């Protein structure tokens, strides 16, 4: 009977560790500072100019006083001069008419008797009813007041001073480093070989 002996072969075990790298990143920094604009506003007020022209009342009573015979001396003198002139003209016309009557002897009339009779028996006097003072003898003129408003618009003067932004930028960066070294471990296990006997 044969006896079989097992022979154990040697084994090689490899244990490998891979290298690892790491990244160290610094973020970029951006700083922006914006100064606000300066605003200057100047208000110009509106102007209002008001002009008032007062009312005016004119009352003319001269005709009234003249009709009531309360005349001014100048008006009275003019009226008397006109009246005297008219009376003189009428007297001249009358005398001329009487002269014509006396001269017309061919009519064989008694001119003197006719003239005396007309003067002794004058005709009826002319008369008329009148209202004193008459309507409209007082003249009234009224000028109403006047209001004039003049506007001058105001406004606003705006002055703007702008400021540019302040910009600071720090760029980022990335650093590469070896986080883990590579490694290779070799182990030999066993060494027996099976043989037949």
Tell me the pLDDT tens digit for each residue of 64-115: 887 777 787 777 788 888 888 888 888 888 878 877 777 776 666 777 777 7
User: In terms of Cα–Cα distance, which of 182, 177, 186, 187 is closest to 17?
Assistant: 182
Residue percentage of the chain with pLDDT more than 90: 9
* Length of the chain measured in residues: 197
pLDDT of residue 142: 92
**What does the domain layout of the chain look like in residue ranges?**
1-25+166-197
| CA dist list (Å): 121 to 87, 104, 116, 118, 125 | 20, 22, 9, 5, 11
Which pTM was predicted? 0.34
CB-based contacts of 77-82 (< 8 A; 24+ apart in sequence): none
Work out the average pLDDT over 120-146. Answer: 76
pLDDT of residue 129: 67
Strand partners, 47: 152
Strand partners, 170: 29
Work out the average pLDDT over 139-148. Answer: 90
| CA dist list (Å): 78 to 70, 147, 153 | 14, 44, 61
User: In terms of Cα–Cα distance, which of 146, 139, 14, 122 is closest to 64?
Assistant: 139
Q: Which two tokens stand for residue 157?
A: 């003067």
pLDDT of residue 49: 92
Residues of 80-93 as b/e, b for ≥16 C-beta within 10 angstroms? eeeeeeeeeeeeee
In whole angstroms, give the CA distance from residue 7 to residue 197: 12
């Amino acid at each position: 009977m044969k006896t079989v002996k097992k022979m154990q072969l040697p084994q090689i075990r490899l244990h490998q560790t891979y290298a690892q790298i790491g990244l160290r990143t610094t973020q970029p920094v951006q700083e922006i500072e914006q100064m606000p604009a300066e605003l200057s506003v100047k208000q110009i007020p509106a102007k209002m100019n008001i002009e008032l022209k007062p009312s005016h009342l004119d009352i003319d009573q001269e005709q009234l006083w003249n009709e009531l015979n309360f005349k001014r001396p100048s008006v009275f003198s003019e009226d008397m001069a006109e009246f005297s002139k008219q009376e003189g003209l009428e007297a001249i016309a009358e005398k001329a008419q009487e002269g014509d009557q006396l001269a017309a002897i061919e009519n064989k009339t008694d001119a003197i008797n006719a003239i005396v009779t007309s003067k002794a028996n004058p005709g009826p006097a002319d008369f008329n009813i009148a209202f004193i003072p008459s309507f409209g003898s007082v003249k009234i003129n009224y000028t109403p007041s006047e209001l004039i408003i003049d506007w001058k618009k105001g406004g606003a003067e705006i002055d703007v001073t702008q400021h540019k932004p302040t910009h600071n930028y720090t760029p980022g960066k990335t650093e590469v480093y070896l986080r883990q070294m590579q490694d290779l471990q070799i182990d030999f296990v066993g060494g027996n070989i099976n043989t037949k006997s």
